[in-house]
Structure 1
């Protein structure tokens, strides 16, 4: 199990420390603790999907998590989700050449991150896909 400390940014640029425990095994798992609350657990097919669920919980408290996985231009390919358990993701750019890959749990500046829904919309636009009204994962 790996521990990661990040921050979340809230209204009026207030910051809240957020602790994570990452389990990268057959079933991906993530535990999150913030603001004196009990640990919350998330399991999914890969770590990126666990992170999406954790971010949704933070967003319910008007907090955006400041990590690379919360950037609107970051999304793991299908191969990254399977082979790397969603821990690493590509930075989506129109440039031809070498692909930049980031650790989704690496910290990011507050100005670089967005909500789960805004990230989904950005990914759909990047790949020129029609947006559905159902929302959900990016």
Structure 2
């Protein structure tokens, strides 16, 4: 069992700590404990996918996850999802291919101005892909 402290923030900037606990067998079992949301379980094939499910849930109430998994300039490769269990994401630089030096832990801290909604992250990824042409 792995336990991490991360923060979530309302769109107005009020931050709150929450505890993320996860285990891995054939899938990732993620449990989030927070003051505002209580206890919430999520399951996915990889850690990034489980965190995205959490992000989608708290977005409905105007909150964002303050870690690398929610950055608008970060996204995992298919190989990172399959072989790395979704534990790392690439920080994307417009117009440049990624390298191993761009890998960061999905649970590493991020600031409110670095993160966005899941949709904003997908748009950031698509814009980055377009910049490589």
**TM-score in same-fold range (> 0.5):** yes
**Equivalent residue for 1:90?**
90
**Equivalent residue for 1:123?**
125
**Separation in structure 1 between the aligned mates of residue 59 and residue 116 of structure 2, nearest angstrom:** 10
**Equivalent residue for 1:66?**
66
The TM-score with structure 2 as length reference comes to 0.88
Alignment partner of 1:105: what SS?
coil
**Equivalent residue for 1:46?**
46
Gaps of 5+ in 2: none
How far the C-alpha of 1:123 sits from its partner, in A, is 0.9
**Equivalent residue for 1:24?**
24
The TM-score with structure 1 as length reference comes to 0.85
Closer/same/farther in 2, CA of residues 19 and 78 from structure 1, 3 Å limit: same
- Do structure 1's residue 57 and structure 2's residue 89 form an aligned pair? no
**Separation in structure 2 between the aligned mates of residue 122 and residue 97 of structure 1, nearest angstrom:** 14
- Do structure 1's residue 113 and structure 2's residue 126 form an aligned pair? no
Cα contact 2:11–2:64 (8 A) shared by 1: no
How far the C-alpha of 1:32 sits from its partner, in A, is 0.7
How far the C-alpha of 1:36 sits from its partner, in A, is 5.4
Gaps of 5+ in 1: 129-138
CA RMSD of aligned residues (A): 1.8
Alignment partner of 1:127: what SS?
helix
**Equivalent residue for 1:33?**
33
**Separation in structure 2 between the aligned mates of residue 36 and residue 59 of structure 1, nearest angstrom:** 13
How far the C-alpha of 1:37 sits from its partner, in A, is 4.2
Cα contact 2:90–2:98 (8 A) shared by 1: no
Structure with the bigger RCO (C-alpha within 8 Å, sep 6+) is 2
Cα contact 2:73–2:124 (8 A) shared by 1: yes
